[in-house]
Copies of this chain bind each other. A is one copy, B any other.
Amino acid sequence: MSTSSVSAKSLTIGLIPADGIGREVIPAARQVLEALSSDIMPARLNFVDLDAGFEYFQKHGVALPEQTLAALKGDCDGALFGAVSSPSHKVAGYSSPIVGLRKQMDLYANVRPVISGAAATASGQKRAIDMLIIRENTECLYIKEEELHEGADGKYAIAKRRISEFASRRAGEMAFSMALQRDLMRQKVAASERTWKGRPKVTIVHKSNVLSVTDGLWRETVRGVYAGNAKYREGVDVEEQLVDSMVYRMFREPQAFDVVVAPNMYGDIISDGAAALVGSLGLVPSANVGDRFVVGEPVHGSAPDIAGQNIANPIAAIRSAAMLLERTGYASAALAIYRAVDKVLEAGQTKTPDLGGKSTTSEVTEAVCRLL
């Protein structure tokens, strides 16, 4: 299992489409990866089809099968995950496979770039945004330790929210190092509007005015990462926002944010909010990143209302595939994909309905492939 060697002769990618439009956008991403020429993408690509999801659970009683985990750990260098449907009521024994995957593979940071640029043009959106959200990906309320009790006034339930120094430090390191790194990448990517032109900045999100112990630990640990590293102090600015105020300010002045680092649940909410600012969730990719593995995952859901119609926007999944390449050491191939997508969006001819167009998933995918 190797995630950073460029000398590897092959790259093996697990494909987990899961539910709904995941089954359309993951094949689209694969098609784009296969269209890369061998001078841009020096390694041979292998794909492994893997099961997971709520539909799979309904048939087999398990949402994230052991074979899938074994294949990821044993055979794959990285993976792409589609999207998962939510049961409309409590289902005994069901547990979200993407949450399980993040935990099992120790994918401790969810990296979510939300960039308008070309996308803004395509969707008629005016406000420029160039944010990188680093979402802590292993704890907070996502540890899913919940208990139901019977009290004097009826039932009550308690969920535990865990914040650790260890996980906060890893998320903080990711945020500050990516703030520096992205400053370099930004100079390479050719999108029409890169709004963040200042010194790299990290905004720490918390709610320590209420959660003084858990979010207090989060805040102090992330600040400690900064204080303890001269490179960060010299190259990056740091600020804080309470989560409610973060959502408010993000909508009022999205251009005020560069890298944003947040505990798991706040990160989930903020990244969907940021996606609204670029015109569609269908544009926003993510990478679930660990020290030894990476899983690309579009931020959107399984969208059962449009599934099976070949109209889902494949761009979030395609960009997620590029993030996977970037993190496994194939930056030039990643860049080629980012640029092809930007061009398709800038041209504005080939757009799925979420962006106000009439093109199909296949047409958008082919348009990207043609520009590679």
Binding site for B on A (CB under 8 A): 86-87, 89-90, 94, 96, 99, 141-142, 144, 146-148, 151, 153-166, 169, 207-214, 216-217, 220, 242-245, 247-252, 265-266, 268-269, 271-273, 275-277, 281, 301
A156-B164, A156-B165 as given contacts; A301 in contact with B212, CB under 8 Å: no
Flag if A156 contacts B147 (CB, 8 Å). Answer: no
B residues in contact with A94, CB < 8 Å: 212
Evaluate whether A144 and B211 lie within 8 angstroms (CB atoms) in the complex, with A162-B157, A269-B244 already known: yes
Closest CB in chain B relative to A58 CB, distance in Å: 15
> What's the least CB distance linking A149 to chain B, in Å?
9
Instruction: Decide: A162 and B166 in contact? CB cutoff 8 A.
Output: no
Task: Select the residue from A220, A245, A247, A268 with max chain B CB neighbours within 10 A.
Answer: A247
Distance of A35 Cα from B67 Cα, bound (Å): 73
Is the Cβ of B146 less than 8 Å from the Cβ of A212?
yes
Q: Report Cα–Cα, A273/B142, bound state, in Å.
A: 23
Q: Are B166 and A153 in contact (CB under 8 A)?
A: yes
- Report the Cα distance A249→B211, complex, angstroms: 27
Given A141-B211, A245-B301, A273-B273 in contact, is the A154-B147 Cβ separation under 8 Å?
no
CB of A276 within 8 A of CB of B301, answer no
A–B pairs, 21, beta carbons within 8 Å: A86-B208, A141-B161, A141-B210, A144-B211, A147-B213, A153-B165, A154-B169, A155-B165, A156-B162, A156-B166, A157-B162, A157-B163, A157-B213, A157-B214, A207-B268, A244-B268, A247-B247, A247-B269, A247-B273, A251-B276, A251-B277
| CB contact between A156 and one of B86, B163, B242 (< 8 Å): that residue | B163
Closest chain B residue, CB of each to CB of A250: B276
| Inter-chain contact B157/A160, CB cutoff 8 Å | no
Q: Which residues of B contact A159 (CB under 8 A)?
A: 160-161, 163, 211, 213-214
| A273 CB contacts on chain B under 8 angstroms | 247-248, 251, 273
Q: Which residues of B contact A151 (CB under 8 A)?
A: 164, 166
Q: How far is the CB of A316 from chain B (nearest CB, A)?
A: 13
Query: Which of B87, B247, B269 is A209 in contact with, Cβ under 8 Å?
Result: B87
Contacts of A266 in B (CB 8 A): 269
A146-B265 Cα distance, complex, nearest whole Å: 17
Contact in complex: B269, A146 (CB < 8 Å): no
A349 CB to closest chain B CB (Å) equals 23
